[in-house]
Amino acid sequence: MLLSCPASDLHIKSCQRARTVYLPPRLNIINTLKRNCREGIKTKIGVIGLQGAVSEHLDAVKRAMEKLGIRGEAIWVGNSEQLVGVDGVIIPGGESTTIGKLMQRTGTFERVKELAKSGVPILGTCAGLIVLAKLGGEHVVQTGQPLLELMDIAVIRNAFGRQRESFEADLEIPLLGEKPFRCVFIRAPAVSEVWGDVEILAKFHEKIVGARQRNMLAVAFHPELTPDTRLHEYFLKMCQKVDSRLSNK
Protein backbone atom coordinates (compact mmCIF):
# COMPACT_ATOMS: atom_id res chain seq x y z
CA MET A 1 0.00 0.00 0.00
CA LEU A 2 1.42 3.37 -1.06
CA LEU A 3 0.35 6.75 0.33
CA SER A 4 1.56 10.32 0.28
CA CYS A 5 3.70 11.32 3.24
CA PRO A 6 2.11 13.50 5.99
CA ALA A 7 5.10 12.79 8.23
CA SER A 8 7.50 14.72 5.99
CA ASP A 9 6.55 18.09 7.51
CA LEU A 10 7.45 16.73 10.96
CA HIS A 11 10.83 15.62 9.65
CA ILE A 12 11.50 19.03 8.05
CA LYS A 13 10.71 20.81 11.32
CA SER A 14 13.00 18.44 13.19
CA CYS A 15 15.85 19.13 10.79
CA GLN A 16 15.29 22.86 11.08
CA ARG A 17 15.42 22.67 14.87
CA ALA A 18 18.76 20.88 14.86
CA ARG A 19 19.70 22.13 11.40
CA THR A 20 24.13 -11.27 10.60
CA VAL A 21 23.04 -10.29 14.30
CA TYR A 22 20.90 -13.13 15.64
CA LEU A 23 18.60 -12.54 18.56
CA PRO A 24 18.79 -14.89 21.52
CA PRO A 25 15.67 -16.93 22.26
CA ARG A 26 12.81 -14.86 23.67
CA LEU A 27 13.20 -16.51 27.08
CA ASN A 28 16.85 -15.45 27.27
CA ILE A 29 15.90 -11.86 26.45
CA ILE A 30 13.23 -11.83 29.16
CA ASN A 31 15.65 -13.32 31.70
CA THR A 32 18.23 -10.70 30.79
CA LEU A 33 15.69 -7.91 31.26
CA LYS A 34 14.62 -9.30 34.63
CA ARG A 35 18.22 -9.66 35.81
CA ASN A 36 19.05 -6.14 34.74
CA CYS A 37 16.05 -4.80 36.64
CA ARG A 38 17.03 -6.74 39.78
CA GLU A 39 20.61 -5.51 39.60
CA GLY A 40 19.62 -1.94 38.78
CA ILE A 41 21.28 -2.08 35.36
CA LYS A 42 20.01 0.55 32.96
CA THR A 43 20.23 0.33 29.19
CA LYS A 44 21.68 3.51 27.71
CA ILE A 45 21.03 4.41 24.08
CA GLY A 46 22.77 7.37 22.51
CA VAL A 47 21.13 9.25 19.62
CA ILE A 48 23.58 11.32 17.59
CA GLY A 49 21.99 14.74 18.03
CA LEU A 50 23.86 16.98 15.60
CA GLN A 51 21.15 17.34 12.96
CA GLY A 52 17.99 15.57 11.87
CA ALA A 53 15.12 13.65 13.51
CA VAL A 54 16.71 13.41 16.94
CA SER A 55 13.85 14.09 19.35
CA GLU A 56 11.61 11.66 17.45
CA HIS A 57 14.14 8.86 17.96
CA LEU A 58 14.50 9.71 21.64
CA ASP A 59 10.74 9.43 22.05
CA ALA A 60 10.55 6.18 20.03
CA VAL A 61 13.28 4.57 22.14
CA LYS A 62 11.50 5.55 25.36
CA ARG A 63 8.22 4.10 24.11
CA ALA A 64 9.96 0.90 23.00
CA MET A 65 11.63 0.56 26.42
CA GLU A 66 8.26 0.91 28.12
CA LYS A 67 6.74 -1.81 25.92
CA LEU A 68 9.63 -4.20 26.61
CA GLY A 69 9.83 -3.37 30.30
CA ILE A 70 13.41 -2.17 29.96
CA ARG A 71 14.85 0.12 32.59
CA GLY A 72 16.93 2.64 30.72
CA GLU A 73 17.34 5.98 29.02
CA ALA A 74 17.86 7.52 25.61
CA ILE A 75 20.25 10.46 25.55
CA TRP A 76 20.96 13.28 23.07
CA VAL A 77 24.61 12.96 22.01
CA GLY A 78 26.49 16.06 20.93
CA ASN A 79 30.09 15.04 21.57
CA SER A 80 32.25 11.95 21.93
CA GLU A 81 32.31 12.09 25.74
CA GLN A 82 28.55 11.52 25.83
CA LEU A 83 29.04 8.16 24.12
CA VAL A 84 30.85 6.71 27.14
CA GLY A 85 28.94 3.74 28.54
CA VAL A 86 26.29 3.53 25.81
CA ASP A 87 24.78 0.15 24.96
CA GLY A 88 23.69 1.22 21.49
CA VAL A 89 23.90 4.17 19.11
CA ILE A 90 21.36 5.58 16.66
CA ILE A 91 22.38 7.74 13.70
CA PRO A 92 19.16 9.51 12.66
CA GLY A 93 17.79 10.71 9.36
CA GLY A 94 18.50 14.25 8.21
CA GLU A 95 21.06 15.63 5.77
CA SER A 96 23.72 12.96 5.52
CA THR A 97 26.64 15.19 4.47
CA THR A 98 25.93 17.61 7.31
CA ILE A 99 25.59 14.80 9.85
CA GLY A 100 28.83 13.16 8.69
CA LYS A 101 30.85 16.36 8.79
CA LEU A 102 29.49 17.40 12.18
CA MET A 103 30.29 13.95 13.52
CA GLN A 104 33.87 14.42 12.37
CA ARG A 105 34.04 17.88 13.94
CA THR A 106 32.70 16.70 17.32
CA GLY A 107 34.78 13.52 17.55
CA THR A 108 31.68 11.30 17.46
CA PHE A 109 32.64 9.95 14.02
CA GLU A 110 35.71 8.02 15.18
CA ARG A 111 34.10 7.11 18.50
CA VAL A 112 31.08 5.52 16.80
CA LYS A 113 33.43 3.59 14.53
CA GLU A 114 35.32 2.29 17.57
CA LEU A 115 32.12 1.32 19.34
CA ALA A 116 30.79 -0.53 16.29
CA LYS A 117 34.02 -2.50 15.89
CA SER A 118 33.86 -3.44 19.60
CA GLY A 119 30.40 -4.95 19.07
CA VAL A 120 28.11 -2.15 20.25
CA PRO A 121 24.89 -2.19 18.15
CA ILE A 122 24.44 0.71 15.73
CA LEU A 123 21.16 1.69 14.04
CA GLY A 124 21.24 4.02 11.04
CA THR A 125 18.00 5.39 9.58
CA CYS A 126 17.78 7.17 6.21
CA ALA A 127 20.83 9.47 6.32
CA GLY A 128 22.26 7.15 8.98
CA LEU A 129 22.19 4.30 6.46
CA ILE A 130 24.35 6.38 4.12
CA VAL A 131 26.85 7.25 6.86
CA LEU A 132 27.26 3.55 7.77
CA ALA A 133 28.06 2.48 4.18
CA LYS A 134 31.45 1.57 2.76
CA LEU A 135 30.69 2.90 -0.72
CA GLY A 136 28.51 5.67 -2.13
CA GLY A 137 27.22 6.62 -5.55
CA GLU A 138 28.26 9.60 -7.67
CA HIS A 139 26.27 12.10 -5.61
CA VAL A 140 27.87 10.85 -2.40
CA VAL A 141 31.33 11.29 -3.90
CA GLN A 142 30.56 14.76 -5.31
CA THR A 143 29.36 16.13 -1.95
CA GLY A 144 32.36 14.84 -0.02
CA GLN A 145 30.08 12.72 2.14
CA PRO A 146 32.01 11.26 5.11
CA LEU A 147 31.37 7.52 5.41
CA LEU A 148 32.05 5.39 8.49
CA GLU A 149 32.70 2.45 6.13
CA LEU A 150 31.32 -0.02 8.65
CA MET A 151 28.78 -1.97 6.59
CA ASP A 152 29.55 -3.90 3.42
CA ILE A 153 27.01 -1.98 1.37
CA ALA A 154 27.00 0.58 -1.44
CA VAL A 155 24.34 3.31 -1.33
CA ILE A 156 22.71 5.86 -3.60
CA ARG A 157 21.14 9.09 -2.34
CA ASN A 158 17.60 10.22 -3.19
CA ALA A 159 16.85 6.83 -4.74
CA PHE A 160 13.10 7.56 -4.85
CA GLY A 161 13.17 11.25 -5.74
CA ARG A 162 13.35 14.58 -3.94
CA GLN A 163 11.29 16.00 -1.06
CA ARG A 164 8.03 16.26 -3.03
CA GLU A 165 8.25 12.54 -3.87
CA SER A 166 8.15 11.56 -0.18
CA PHE A 167 5.72 8.75 0.57
CA GLU A 168 4.63 6.04 2.99
CA ALA A 169 4.33 2.33 2.26
CA ASP A 170 3.48 -0.84 4.17
CA LEU A 171 6.34 -3.32 3.84
CA GLU A 172 6.76 -6.91 4.95
CA ILE A 173 9.83 -7.12 7.19
CA PRO A 174 9.99 -10.70 8.51
CA LEU A 175 12.21 -9.96 11.51
CA LEU A 176 9.48 -7.62 12.82
CA GLY A 177 6.73 -10.21 12.58
CA GLU A 178 3.88 -10.95 10.17
CA LYS A 179 2.20 -7.55 10.39
CA PRO A 180 3.42 -5.11 7.69
CA PHE A 181 5.49 -2.17 8.93
CA ARG A 182 4.50 1.35 7.87
CA CYS A 183 7.61 2.95 6.37
CA VAL A 184 8.04 6.68 5.89
CA PHE A 185 10.37 7.53 2.98
CA ILE A 186 11.66 11.12 2.80
CA ARG A 187 14.32 11.79 0.13
CA ALA A 188 15.24 8.21 0.91
CA PRO A 189 18.44 6.47 -0.10
CA ALA A 190 18.65 2.84 -1.15
CA VAL A 191 21.28 0.12 -1.01
CA SER A 192 22.56 -0.65 -4.51
CA GLU A 193 24.89 -3.52 -3.60
CA VAL A 194 25.71 -5.78 -0.65
CA TRP A 195 28.56 -8.20 -0.03
CA GLY A 196 30.15 -10.15 2.81
CA ASP A 197 27.73 -11.34 5.48
CA VAL A 198 25.16 -8.57 4.96
CA GLU A 199 21.57 -9.77 5.21
CA ILE A 200 18.88 -8.02 3.15
CA LEU A 201 15.89 -7.26 5.37
CA ALA A 202 13.49 -5.35 3.12
CA LYS A 203 12.94 -4.17 -0.44
CA PHE A 204 10.63 -1.65 -2.08
CA HIS A 205 10.17 -1.77 -5.86
CA GLU A 206 13.17 -4.11 -6.03
CA LYS A 207 15.40 -1.60 -4.24
CA ILE A 208 17.02 -2.64 -0.95
CA VAL A 209 15.76 -0.46 1.92
CA GLY A 210 16.84 -2.50 4.93
CA ALA A 211 19.99 -4.44 5.79
CA ARG A 212 21.77 -5.96 8.75
CA GLN A 213 25.38 -6.97 9.30
CA ARG A 214 26.37 -8.42 12.65
CA ASN A 215 25.76 -5.62 15.22
CA MET A 216 24.72 -3.03 12.63
CA LEU A 217 21.20 -2.34 11.38
CA ALA A 218 20.36 0.14 8.62
CA VAL A 219 17.07 1.20 7.02
CA ALA A 220 16.29 3.77 4.33
CA PHE A 221 13.07 4.93 5.98
CA HIS A 222 12.08 6.75 9.18
CA PRO A 223 10.70 4.30 11.80
CA GLU A 224 10.71 7.08 14.40
CA LEU A 225 7.94 8.95 12.55
CA THR A 226 5.29 6.26 13.12
CA PRO A 227 3.56 4.96 16.29
CA ASP A 228 4.94 1.45 15.59
CA THR A 229 7.98 0.83 17.81
CA ARG A 230 8.82 -2.68 16.59
CA LEU A 231 12.05 -1.68 14.85
CA HIS A 232 13.28 0.17 17.92
CA GLU A 233 12.24 -2.80 20.08
CA TYR A 234 14.28 -5.09 17.84
CA PHE A 235 17.28 -2.78 18.15
CA LEU A 236 16.94 -2.71 21.93
CA LYS A 237 16.94 -6.52 21.95
CA MET A 238 20.20 -6.42 19.99
CA CYS A 239 21.58 -4.19 22.75
CA GLN A 240 20.27 -6.56 25.43
CA LYS A 241 22.12 -9.43 23.76
CA VAL A 242 25.36 -7.48 24.15
CA ASP A 243 24.48 -6.69 27.79
CA SER A 244 23.84 -10.40 28.45
CA ARG A 245 27.14 -11.47 26.89
CA LEU A 246 29.11 -8.93 28.93
CA SER A 247 27.37 -9.74 32.20
CA ASN A 248 28.09 -13.45 31.76
CA LYS A 249 31.85 -12.94 31.39
Q: Which residues are catalytic?
A: 126, 222, 224
Residue 67 CB coordination number (10 Å): 13
- Helices 230-247 and 26-38 pack at an angle, to 10 degrees, of 70
> Residue 100: CB partners within 8 Å, gap ≥ 6?
109, 130, 131, 145, 146, 147
Count CB-CB contacts under 10 A for residue 1.
Answer: 8
CA distance 70 to 67: 8
Contact 82, 175 (CB under 8 A): no
CA gap 118, 52 in Å, rounded: 26
DSSP state of 23: P
Quick one: CA dihedral 75, 80, 86, 91, positive or negative? Answer: positive
How many Å separate Cα 229 from the centre of its chain? Answer: 12
C-alpha separations of 197 from 21, 88, 149 in Å: 10, 21, 15
| Residues 187, 242: Cα–Cα separation, whole Å | 33
Q: Positive or negative, the Cα torsion across 225, 230, 232, 235? A: negative
